[in-house]
């Protein structure tokens, strides 16, 4: 599918955990966007397929993403926004008023796969932007993209600096993983769900400076659209090489 002519010059936006549709409207450039949405819940996946959009193409994959192919257990919690393949870390959550939202009501078996597996099967295109909302499994989802992350221009995800799920990777580990792929943290906004403590953040990543020079015209156009949609400033050099004198 990477060679699909319909995707040439399009911005491929991958939304993992896409209940409700794409978070960004991409107003005014919808016809240039290919939306790839992952939703393991059959009812919600059907709703995504029925949504009317102006996007160039909408691809809905009824599956979870991880770093392997197989079956996992989805923990359905009191709040739908807290459901995860990981178990809530009650020892940490117990001190906060949000803790009841993480109580497990029941479990559901779900199929998981990797983005790289789907790409090799021709079911999804190469990603330009990846948005992830999977409650603690961000690291595994990113790992499942494999070398496709090398071509990715931007990532948005929810991250934590304390483990609200058992065994989850934290913000620093996500920063390090994406740095290996040439992506740098550009913006960090706290999500106030933990009684004023800095636990949860929305994080935005784009290409590092050293990768910008290698972009072609289409690549620069795509990154410009991403910067505009996310409200990020341009990555301009602030200091001249001789700002501090010469040795």
pTM, two decimals, is 0.93
Q: What is the band of 4 on the pLDDT scale with cuts at 50, 70, 90? A: low
pLDDT tens-digit readout, 90-123: 999 999 999 999 999 999 998 999 999 999 999 9
Is residue 32 left, alpha or beta, with left meaning phi > 0 and alpha meaning psi from -120 to 50?
Answer: alpha
pLDDT per residue as tens digits for the range 154-193: 999 999 999 999 999 999 999 999 999 999 999 999 999 9
Beta bridge partners of 106: 76
Mark 27-45 as b/e (b = at least 16 C-beta within 10 Å).
Answer: eebeeebbbbbbbbbeebb
When pLDDT is averaged across residues 119-132 and rounded to a whole number, the result is 96
Percent of the chain with pLDDT over 90: 72
Residue 124 confidence class, pLDDT cut points 50, 70, 90:
very high
**Average pLDDT estimate for 26-47:** 86
Q: List, for residues 59-91, the tens digit of each pLDDT value.
A: 999 889 999 999 999 999 999 889 999 999 999
Report the alpha-carbon distance of residue 66 to residue 90 in Å, rounded: 23
Q: Minimal CA–CA distance to 53: which of 8, 15, 94? A: 15
Name all domains of the chain by residue range, CATH numbers in brackets.
5-230 (3.40.50)
CB 141 within 8 A of CB 132: yes
Tokens of 143: 């790992």
């Amino acid at each position: 599918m990477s060679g699909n002519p319909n995707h040439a010059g399009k911005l491929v936006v991958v939304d993992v955990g896409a209940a409700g549709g794409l978070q960004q409207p991409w107003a005014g450039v919808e016809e240039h966007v290919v939306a790839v949405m992952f939703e393991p819940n059959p009812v919600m996946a059907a709703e995504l397929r029925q949504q009317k959009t102006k996007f160039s193409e909408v691809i809905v994959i009824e599956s979870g993403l991880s770093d392997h192919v197989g079956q996992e257990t989805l923990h359905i919690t009191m709040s739908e926004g807290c459901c995860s393949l990981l178990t809530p870390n009650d020892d940490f959550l117990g001190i906060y008023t949000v803790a009841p939202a993480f109580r497990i009501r029941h479990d559901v078996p779900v199929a998981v796969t990797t983005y790289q597996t789907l790409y090799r099967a021709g079911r999804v295109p190469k990603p330009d932007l990846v948005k992830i909302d999977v409650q603690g499994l961000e690291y595994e989802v990113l790992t499942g993209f494999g070398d496709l992350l090398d071509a990715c221009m931007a990532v948005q995800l929810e991250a934590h600096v304390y483990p609200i799920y058992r065994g989850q990777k934290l913000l620093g580990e996500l920063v390090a993983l994406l740095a290996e792929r040439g992506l740098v943290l550009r913006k960090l906004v706290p999500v106030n769900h933990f009684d004023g403590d800095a636990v949860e953040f929305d994080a935005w990543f784009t290409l590092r400076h050293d990768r910008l020079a290698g972009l072609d015209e289409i690549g620069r156009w795509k990154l410009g659209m991403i910067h505009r949609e996310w409200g990020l400033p341009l990555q301009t050099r602030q200091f001249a090489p001789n700002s501090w004198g010469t040795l």
